Amino acid sequence: MSAWLLLFRKEMLESARNFKWIWIPLVFLALGITNPITTYFMPEILQAGGVAAEAAKLIPTPTSEEIIVKSLSQYGTLGMLVFALSFMGIVAGERQSGSAIMVLVKPVSYGHYITSKWAAMTCITLAAVTLGQLGTGYYMNVLFDDNVYSEALVSGLVYALWLILLNSITLLLSCLMKAPAGIAFVSVAFAALLSLVTQLLGDAMRWSPSRLTAEAGRLVEDSGAGDDLWLLVLITAALIAILLTLATAASRRMLR
Amino acid sequence: MSLLEVTGLVKKFGVQTAVDGLNFEITPGRCLALLGPNGAGKTTTLRMLSGLLEPTSGTIRFTGGSEKDIRGIIGYLPQYPAFFNWMSGREFLSFAAKLAGLSGKEAAARTEEVLERVGLKESAKRRIGGYSGGMKQRLGLAQAVIHRPKLLILDEPVSALDPQGRREVLELMREMKRETTILFSTHVLHDVEEISEEAIIMDKGRIIVQGDLQKLLYDHEQPLIRVKARNLPIEWVRGLRKEPFVRELNETSDGFTVLVTDVSLARSSLLRSIADLEIEVESFEIGATSLEDLFLRAVSAG
């Protein structure tokens, strides 16, 4: 356990020293506050763009639920890309440089090596999504006088689970592949493909973790938690466990 | 009683066999050099011994320790040590010490001790990213010995260094020899003669010769005579091949070298001919083949 904590601390310290702990949460904060602000100023923006004041007023103001859901969907596109790009080298980089050897030649468990990295990725992800959702909540409160903090946080948590699953895929690929750009590409392509197939096949893909994104949105709307939410959470957790097991097995073999 | 016994060690990468049936043992307290040209399988062998690579077949048995994880009693320095460049030297050593299972207090004390030992005390606070090649190599040695391993495995510890760094590292190895058993690989013969007591010469994944270095030198030592002269009659030199005392003859740009069976016979015979033929000799030297000759012969024969 103390060896695991040591490795985890090293990962956290590394992310702090290379500023991942600063810029990733800042990106999410920016994504989180953009929607309430642009929505609030939309009439002015439209008028400045030459749309008549009367016409601008006709555009319905989106509900706060819609604003939160829009923030979430941005975490799923831009946010996911940020994670894929910043974590693609998490193992591949250490293997390439040779620093992985310096750790693995000590009596360290490969499982600890992988899970400590995963835990550090998960901490950044949770912090970033929470900060983004707090940003959304704050501006909703200030601009629309609407208190949606709890909805924003709960839906953010569910959405984060989807992002954590994608991070686990990036981690596994980072043990298997050498080229960082390829790792990021495959991760993103996998997420896009899974979302697409899930939408196309509908009921047959009820179990698909990408439906967590829709469930996170439903949590904000009045309809409340869908029937499948807990099923999806369980399936996603199981998939993460499988991915971590595979990554551990792959890391045993990666030193050639 | 040996520290480590290797039997029938084989490693295959796909169809290619990198290590092909090694058998050897390491005696505690001795310094063993693994010598061979590039691609001989030295790095692969060391990585298997240090627990980084799984052998395809064969066994590695440590008689020294009962630990289930052999990595705990081994210190390993890879050929190109890479560190976390964002850490300082002190941070890295303390990290390595704790990874090896030392308690916080022990790790801190041992870190200072080892930093002093390898002469990095002044640079301990600096980031490793700014270290020179020699400093990184010394840091690599430091992390390898931080947990007082029973066996220190060094992969080409001096090959990439300038003469100054080379001297420093060899000096450190000499000091460490007093406390632990060292196994190191190299393709530089001079290093072997300088600090090791035993040697294994490898080529193409196999052991060609192994044993006590002095004994190896003695067994493979052959007397030779080196002659440098101006007006050497070629027919005479070539004719020497037929003499009973000549084992091997090599012509050089300014003379010739003969490996001989009987030095005294060869000396008197050669000197007589030189006098008869009025050859203008510049030097006439009697010596013996070196480890380098042994190495080159072993490798080209295998």
Closest Cα in chain A to B142: A102
Q: Give pTM, 2 decimals.
A: 0.87
Confidence at residue A256, expressed as pLDDT on a 0 to 100 scale = 66
| Cα B46 to Cα B18: distance, rounded to the nearest angstrom | 12
pLDDT digits (tens, 9 = 90+) for A137-194: 999 999 988 888 988 999 999 999 999 999 999 999 999 999 999 999 999 999 999 9
pLDDT over threshold 80, residue A52: no
ipTM of the shown complex: 0.89
Cα–Cα separations (whole angstroms), residue B43 to A43, B47, B159, B202: 69, 6, 13, 11
Confidence at residue B185, expressed as pLDDT on a 0 to 100 scale = 95
Closest CB to B82: pick one of A3, A102, A256: A102
Closest CB to B86: pick one of A3, A18, A101: A18
pLDDT digits (tens, 9 = 90+) for B253-269: 888 888 888 888 999 99
A107 with B47: Cβ contact below 8 A = no
Closest CB to A105: pick one of B52, B80, B83: B52
Q: Where are the domains of chain A?
A: 2-255
Where does residue B301 rank: exposed (0-12), middle (13-18), buried (19+ CB within 10 A)?
exposed
Cα A215 to its chain centre, rounded Å, is 15
Residues of chain A found within 8 Å of residue B95, distances taken between Cβ atoms? 6, 10
Q: Count H helices, E strands: chain B?
A: 10, 13
Where does residue A233 rank: exposed (0-12), middle (13-18), buried (19+ CB within 10 A)?
middle
Confidence at residue B301, expressed as pLDDT on a 0 to 100 scale = 59
A102 with B78: Cβ contact below 8 A = yes
Confidence at residue A45, expressed as pLDDT on a 0 to 100 scale = 84
pLDDT digits (tens, 9 = 90+) for A56-69: 777 777 888 888 88
Residue B254 burial (CB count, 10 A): 12
DSSP string for residues in A191-256: HHHHHHHHHHHGGGGTT-TTHHHHHHHHHHSTT-S-TTHHHHHHHHHHHHHHHHHHHHHHHHHTT-
Distance from CA of A254 to the nearest CA of B (A): 10
From chain A, which residues contact B within 8 Å (Cβ)? 2-3, 6-7, 10, 14, 17-18, 97-99, 101-108, 255-256
Residues of chain A found within 8 Å of residue B76, distances taken between Cβ atoms? 101, 105
Confidence at residue B75, expressed as pLDDT on a 0 to 100 scale = 95
In sequence order, the β-bridge partners of residue A44 are: none
pLDDT along chain B (302 residues), means of 10: 90 93 92 91 94 92 72 92 95 96 94 95 95 93 95 92 89 92 90 88 90 84 86 86 86 86 89 89 86 72 54
Confidence at residue A189, expressed as pLDDT on a 0 to 100 scale = 95
pLDDT over threshold 60, residue A1: no
| Cα A176 to Cα A186: distance, rounded to the nearest angstrom | 12
- A72 residue type, one letter: L
**Computed from CA positions of residues A87, A173, B99, B113, in that sequence, does the dihedral angle turn out positive or negative?**
negative
Confidence at residue B149, expressed as pLDDT on a 0 to 100 scale = 94
pLDDT over threshold 70, residue A75: yes
Which of B46, B99, B106, B152 should we substitute to test contact with A (largest number of A Cβ atoms within 10 Å)? B99
| Cα B167 to Cα A7: distance, rounded to the nearest angstrom | 35
Confidence at residue B65, expressed as pLDDT on a 0 to 100 scale = 59
Mean pLDDT over all residues of chain A? 91
B100 with A106: Cβ contact below 8 A = yes
Distance from CA of A80 to the nearest CA of B (A): 26
pLDDT digits (tens, 9 = 90+) for A200-225: 998 888 889 998 988 888 888 766 66
Cα–Cα separations (whole angstroms), residue A198 to A38, A119, A201: 31, 28, 5
A98 with B50: Cβ contact below 8 A = no
Confidence at residue A58, expressed as pLDDT on a 0 to 100 scale = 75
| Cα B251 to Cα B229: distance, rounded to the nearest angstrom | 12
A102 with B98: Cβ contact below 8 A = no
For residues B271 and B173, is the Cβ–Cβ distance under 8 A?
A: no
pLDDT digits (tens, 9 = 90+) for A94-145: 999 999 999 999 999 999 999 999 999 999 999 999 999 999 999 999 998 8
Closest CB to B96: pick one of A7, A106, A255: A106
Confidence at residue A224, expressed as pLDDT on a 0 to 100 scale = 65
Q: Count H helices, E strands: chain A?
A: 13, 0
Instruction: Say if strands B255-260 and B246-252 run parallel, antiparallel, or are unpaired.
Output: antiparallel
